[in-house]
Structure 1
Amino acid sequence: MTERTGQARAARTRNRLVLSAAAEFASRGYDGTSFARVCREAAVTMGALTFHFPTKASLAQAVGAAGIEATHSAVDDADARAATPLASVGGIAQTLAELLGGQALVRAAARLAREHPALEVDWRSSWLPLVRTRLYQAHVLDQLRPGTQPETAALLVGSLVAGLEVGLLPHPARRPRTAQQQLAEQWRTALVGIGPDHDHPAEAS
């Protein structure tokens, strides 16, 4: 019983550290994140932090893994609810906007992947392969506008999401629109060149 209690306590401490570090990495980036602030926010000692995560890289990788897992789960749920492949792409894009706007874990994973490739936090792997697959399926089903190539459409979706990531970074001179508002506007514009006039995947998802 004592051993199980200790393991549960250690797991809770580790989880608090990951969540606190996620907020730091999301807002300050890898270089701007300090162990001292993470400890303070998680209400743990420096010894407890270094026991679980001896280096900043190991902490960042744990945060990245948690953000990727959360993204993968949410994206799979969005895909399962979609009626068509193209609707799935719209649903996935909307889900990513919601995650980036509302979950520090996901913002941290995206930022770490973008700014520090050496960490091998491949956040895009949690959603881009599925987007690419659904776009190829949409192409086979003639859901794409004639002349639109699935790979080009996948690159466009990736660019839209990358734009959301950058737009969500703190900026002292402005208060950005929500990720959902940004995505809705960009996606409507993108559909003019991707989808047929009668099909709006963001609404169909």
Structure 2
Amino acid sequence: MKTIIVFFILFSVTSFASNESMIIEERRSLTYFSNPFLIGDWYFFKPANVENDYDVLHISLSSNNKFRIEMIEMASNTAEEWEGSFEISQDSIRFEGNEDESQIYHYQVSHNRLYLNGVEFFKVVPERIIGSWNSELVSGEDIMVSNVKSLNLKLRSDFIFSLEVISHTGKSNQHIGYYYFENNDLVLLYEEGEQESTFHITEDLLEIKNEQFGMYALLVRQ
């Protein structure tokens, strides 16, 4: 059990950390965004029986409270764009365009669905992230102390992940939960807590780092 605890749990900042460093860490962390499931690319595809000027509606939301909306017409391969900033409350989102008046919508969100005034949007993950990844190298002081031998990480297209941690004695433990990401920041969210790391993908290699705990893993797509 120590193996899993050391790898997964995000420890609180130690007592000697300065308030300034805590503020910097908060600004950098996706986990401090008020509703991180909103972050990402959302798509609405027009049903065939619906009359509309566009075929696809794409909404991109970022953790710096910026948005970009594309209204795409497939036949002419054209798109209209609207961008600006947004604010959220518990159940409403306000889009404020750079030059236009604001628009307010009621929203509900899960790890892969967004509803704006009842209209359903699907969250899309890039193909390069999806897949089963097995570790070739795992290093770091905490990792060595906890006797971790290998990691098997599966990232699905529906934003569900599974992670198997195998020790040098052959014992394994698995966690299943949701994930979200922005740029090179990846957060695994599961019942016992959450783990935020940076990641980088080069072809079929996935690097995961957590500088706070000195953890590094190199994984290969299977």
Q: TM-score, normalising length from structure 1?
A: 0.33
Which one has the bigger strand percentage? Answer: 2
Which one has the bigger helix percentage? Answer: 1
Q: TM-score, normalising length from structure 2?
A: 0.31
